[in-house]
């Protein structure tokens, strides 16, 4: 099994890069684990309280469960990946059966913050896009796909996204084996990653 970790700031294009990597691979040879699925359960909080959570701080993530699930996949076991709702800011009651595959891709802003998780990756990739580009993408995406308004996105950006990016996400670039510049679509980098994967398949 080849386990690839793909980190990078919000809006850097991690999900897009993952989709570009996997869209030419046989579906039964690859699976994706999203860090967003592993936000800690907050059933004890009201919706109002959940909107105040700092989702860009490592303590918001259930790293123990990601490590447990990844280890289970490595051991050939099927896992029940949680499903997260950005509308309710909580896990839903659903799960997605995720089968062990030859290639497992884990993507998320904070995945290189956990040493235990880092140690499970065979290849660590950091997707980079400039701050202004990421902000523009985030504003567009959160309004069209995640039901937010412009004030909510900009306030969250100033109060948490920017400082958390500087404190926790950008420094983990140093752990990367490969940095993909993604201000524009980077087909050369995607081809290189695909070649590495194909060699291992």
Ligand X SMILES: O=c1ccn([C@@H]2O[C@H](COP(=O)(O)O)[C@@H](O)[C@H]2O)c(=O)[nH]1
Ligand Y SMILES: Nc1ncnc2c1ncn2[C@@H]1O[C@H](COP(=O)(O)OP(=O)(O)O)[C@@H](O)[C@H]1O
> Distance between CA 16 and CA 107 in Å, rounded?
11
Any contact of residue 10 with ligand X (CB under 6 A)?
Answer: yes
Choose, by CB under 6 A, the member of 1, 42, 86, 143 that binds ligand X.
86
Q: Which candidate, 61, 69, 56, places its Cα nearest to that of 161?
A: 56
Q: Residue 99: CB partners within 8 Å, gap ≥ 6? A: 31, 78
**What number of other Cβ atoms are within 10 A of residue 23's Cβ?**
11
Listed ranges 74-82, 84-92, 146-154, 177-185: which one lies at the site for ligand Y (CB under 6 A):
177-185
Residue 56 partner contact from ligand Y, ligand X, none using kind-dependent CB cut-offs of 5 to 8 Å: ligand X
Any contact of residue 12 with ligand Y (CB under 6 A)?
Answer: yes
Choose, by CB under 6 A, the member of 16, 25, 36, 143 that binds ligand X.
36
Any contact of residue 185 with ligand Y (CB under 6 A)?
Answer: yes
CA distances from residue 85 to 22, 39, 95, 125, 200 in whole angstroms, order as listed:
24, 10, 12, 26, 34
Site for ligand Y in 122-151 (CB under 6 A): 137, 141
Give the footprint of ligand Y on this chain (CB under 6 A).
8, 10-16, 137, 141, 182, 184-185
């Amino acid at each position: 099994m080849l386990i690839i970790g793909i980190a990078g700031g919000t809006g850097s294009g991690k999900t897009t890069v993952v989709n570009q990597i996997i869209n030419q691979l046989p579906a039964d040879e690859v699976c994706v684990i999203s860090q967003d699925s592993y936000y800690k359960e907050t059933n004890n909080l009201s919706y109002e309280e959940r909107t105040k959570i700092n989702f860009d701080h490592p303590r918001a993530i259930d790293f123990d469960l990601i490590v447990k699930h990844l280890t289970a996949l490595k051991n050939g076991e099927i896992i029940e990946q949680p499903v997260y709702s950005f509308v309710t800011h909580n896990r839903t009651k659903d799960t997605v059966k995720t089968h062990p595959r030859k290639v497992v891709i884990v993507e998320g802003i904070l995945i290189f913050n956990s040493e235990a998780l880092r140690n499970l990756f065979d290849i660590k990739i950091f997707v980079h896009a400039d701050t202004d580009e990421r902000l523009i993408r985030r504003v567009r995406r959160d309004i069209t796909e995640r039901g937010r308004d412009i004030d909510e996105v900009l306030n969250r950006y100033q109060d948490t996204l920017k400082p958390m990016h500087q404190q926790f996400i950008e420094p983990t670039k140093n752990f990367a084996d490969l940095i993909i510049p993604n201000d524009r679509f980077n087909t050369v980098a995607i081809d290189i990653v695909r070649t590495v994967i194909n060699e291992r398949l």
